[in-house]
Amino acid sequence: MPNDNTRKIVTSESVANGHPDKVADQISDAVLDAILEKDSKARVDCETLIMQGTVVVTGQITTNCYVDIPSVIRKKLKEIGLDNARDGLDWSTCGVMVSITEQSPDISQGITETAGHEQGAGDQGIMFGYACDETPELMPMPIMLAHALVKRLETCRKEKILPFLRPDGKSQVTVEYENDKPKRVSVVVVAAQHSEEIDEEMVRKDIEKHVIRATIPPSLIDENTKIIINGTGRFVIGGTLADSGLTGRKTQVDSYGGTGRHGGGCFSGKDPSKVDRSGSYMCRYIAKNIVAADLAKRCEVQVAYAIGVAQPVAFAVETFGTGRFSDEILTDVCKKVFDLRPKAIIEKLHLINPIYARTAVYGHFGRSEFPWEKTDSVQKLLDALNIK
């Protein structure tokens, strides 16, 4: 979008760690972590389906280790706080089904490094990364506020600040922009599952005070900001009693909240040989370093792969008219500075470490704990552009 005197609105949502889809993501990534702890060369593509009192884990996993997957599942459910069958799942009593097969040998021969073959991409596809200067994390403000709200819901639940809260919940934030700069929050939506005995008006007052007002900076909220809490008036039946959960259904929650484009492939449950995951992380890393180097105010990086082929088949940088150099120049420089082969990405970002369960809730980006959020390539970009 051009940098003229324009107004726009951007809305993003996030979901709590007890939302059924996020429970599924966390289980898939917990299984991945448990395997990577024992076998760093494992191939994992793990899918989770949950509905009411049942968890089904399936997919393709090739490993030389043994992992007690049902125990991993129950441990994760307990950590989330799913300890009541009235929420759809009780970690200690729910049914668990596991149906796993090995990775197809046709795929394996294309992505496994041998003496005569470089490790190729685990699948074809397109991946995107995005960064902007709206927040200290170099992320779009709406998604960062939405994540902060549901994270605060979890804190209020687990620390008994609001003891009536249950694990399920959602948030949604609408931000108004002027000249591409966030000016105010116009709408805040929070849906929070609660115990049956609590008064609904008390739920609304407490959530506004302890969650919304405690999270969103006062400078962004005014008398015209619309606040909607549990829009139906009641949210007792939640979790998997109200909805099923499936790995990979919250791709925009996981990424940029709709601001940046998304290639369509989910992240959770996939080892880093799958470029849906590693390629997206690398694109974020590149985009963030470009913005951190003050080479652009907004940046989107796109890469495309063919299965079994190491080098990407396409790569492009777009700065939406905010770049200090043309997109073509930045694209050429990034091709020289960054190695986009899958093996190189895995090594650069330390992706064989079991860090993935932490990514599965509150977004994969904008969190300094992850290696793809580092800005340690800023100087390399400046040097490549002969900027002193």
Report whether pLDDT(115) > 70. Answer: no
User: Residue 183: how many CA atoms within 13 Å on its side-chain side?
Assistant: 10
pLDDT bracket for residue 87 (50, 70, 90): confident
Report whether pLDDT(119) > 90. Answer: no
Three-class DSSP labels, the chain: CCCCCCEEEEEEEEECCCCHHHHHHHHHHHHHHHHHCCCCCCEEEEEEEEECCEEEEEEEEECCCCCCHHHHHHHHHHHHCCEEHHHCEECCCCEEEEEEECCCHHHHHHHCCECCECCCECCCEEEEEEEECCCCCCCCHHHHHHHHHHHHHHHHHHCCCCCCEEEEEEEEEEEEEECCEEEEEEEEEEEEEECCCCCHHHHHHHHHHHHHHHHCCHHHCCCCCEEEECCCCCCCCCHHHHCCEECCCCHHHHCCCCCCCCCCCCCCCECCCCHHHHHHHHHHHHHHHHHHCCCCCEEEEEEEECECCCCCCEEEEECCCCCCCCHHHHHHHHHHHCCCCHHHHHHHCCCCCCCHHHHHCCCCCCCCCCHHHCCCCHHHHHHHCCCC
pLDDT bracket for residue 243 (50, 70, 90): confident
Report whether pLDDT(207) > 70. Answer: yes
Cβ atoms of 139 and 132 within 8 Å: the answer is yes
What domains can be seen in the chain, in order of their start residue?
A: 7-13+140-238 (3.30.300.10), 20-111 (3.30.300.10), 125-133+272-384 (3.30.300.10)
Residue 138: name the closest of 312, 378, 375 by CA: 375
- What integer best gives the mean pLDDT of the chain? 92
Residues 120-145 have a mean pLDDT of: 94
Higher-confidence position of 278 and 260: 278
pLDDT bracket for residue 110 (50, 70, 90): low
pLDDT bracket for residue 369 (50, 70, 90): very high
Phi, psi (5° rounding) for residue 36? -65, -30
Q: pLDDT for 347-367, tens place per residue? A: 999 999 999 999 999 999 999
Report whether pLDDT(3) > 60. Answer: no
Report whether pLDDT(4) > 70. Answer: no
Strand partners, 245: 50
How many percent of the chain have pLDDT more than 70? 95
Residues 90-108 have a mean pLDDT of: 79
pLDDT bracket for residue 1 (50, 70, 90): very low
Q: Are strands 83-84 and 89-90 parallel, antiparallel or unpaired?
A: antiparallel
How many percent of the chain have pLDDT more than 90? 81
Q: What is the pLDDT of residue 120?
A: 75
Q: What is the pLDDT of residue 123?
A: 80
R_g (Cα) of the chain, nearest Å:
22
pLDDT bracket for residue 104 (50, 70, 90): low
Indicate the pTM of the whole model: 0.93
